[in-house]
Amino acid sequence: MYPSGYRTLVTPTSFIAALALLLTLFHGSVNASESVLLEPFQSEYAVDYSGFRAARTISLEKDGEEYILRSTTRLKGAARLTGYGPIYEVSRFTLQDSVIRPSLYSIGEDKPNPKRDIRIEFDWDSGTSSGYAKGEERSFALEPNIQDPLSFDLMARLLLSEGKRDFVLKVHEGHRVRSYHFIEQEEEAIKVASRKIPATRYFIDRNSSRELYYWFSNNPKQVPLQIRQRHEQKTKGTVTLTKSTLLD
């Protein structure tokens, strides 16, 4: 299986970022902040989790009426000898009334692995989800603003761009649905390449012993610059932006 807690950093608890388009969608128009945040992009991150190093690429594109958010994580150095990866994560969604509505989420490697792979189908007409996680078929009732493990930080960015600084998102993690409470903390500068970028740190309270922190840039695009996971007062993993078209 993935190293303990690793998936939290490279996916749902993961993070990381996203966006694509400024045109009219099937169910309504896109406002100014959504136009900025839903533009196509590609971002690259360096991942360090308990000695495991990896490179993560995230991109957003448009396919008909849907957006496609993709993440690919490749282990580096000695970590490649574990035989894991690349790890592919995909979220397909639409935007309705300024809310991201996932339709399909999946995470897995080149070869199917029932113990690790996750797939979630969101059926909004019936109000239920169906999928596969931890080797079992799963089904949950859908709540209006529920997100998947990849789309949640993009939805958070939309809310931040609207001026919200304390809010809760429900995230469907495959085997459970959890509340992610975003709590604003303090401003800090995060170094990306040779630049220092003003950012605000948020604590994401998931009712977990593994504390999750996000640093979002203070510009209108609210770019996720860094993600950090701590456990028992020690940093277990860090994901740091190294390059992004959102900063061009």
pLDDT digits (tens, 9 = 90+) for 180-216: 999 999 999 999 988 999 999 999 999 999 999 999 9
Whether 238 shows a pLDDT value over 60: the answer reads: yes
Quote the percentage of the chain above a pLDDT of 90. Answer: 67
Q: Above pLDDT 70, what percent of the chain?
A: 83
Can you give the pLDDT at residue 81?
47
How much is the pLDDT for 116?
87
**230-237: average pLDDT:** 92
Check residue 36 and give its pLDDT. Answer: 72
Terminal-to-terminal C-alpha distance of the chain? 37
Of residues 37 and 228, the one with the higher pLDDT is 228
Q: What is the pLDDT of residue 30?
A: 45
Residue predicted with more confidence, 116 or 120: 120
C-alpha span between 244 and 113 (Å, rounded): 31
Residue 226's beta-bridge partner residues? 215, 240
Paired residues of 182 in beta bridges: 167, 204
Tokens representing 243? 């390059």
pLDDT band at 248 (very low <50, low <70, confident <90, very high): confident
200 touches 186 (CB < 8 A): yes
Question: Does the bond joining 114 to the residue before it have cis omega, within 30 degrees of 0?
Answer: no
Q: Where are the alpha helices (DSSP H) in the chain?
A: 6-10, 32-37, 152-161
User: Residue 33's pLDDT is what?
Assistant: 62
pTM, 2 dp: 0.83
C-alpha closest to that of 217 among 35, 36, 12: 36
127-155 confidence digits (pLDDT tens): 999 989 988 998 999 998 999 999 999 99
CA dihedral 75, 211, 162, 195 (to 10 degrees): -50
* Residue pair 24/34 in contact by the 8 Å Cβ criterion: no
Average pLDDT of span 223-234:
94
Mean pLDDT of the chain: 85
What average pLDDT does this structure show over 28-37?
58
Comparing 33 with 6, the larger pLDDT belongs to 33
Contact residues for 194 (Cβ-Cβ < 8 A; gap 6+): none
Per DSSP, the residues of 18-78 read -----S-BTTB---HHHHHHTS-EEEEEEEEETTEEEEEEEEEEEETTEEEEEEEEEEEGG
Cα–Cα distance list, 78 to 3, 7, 53, 238 (Å): 14, 18, 8, 18
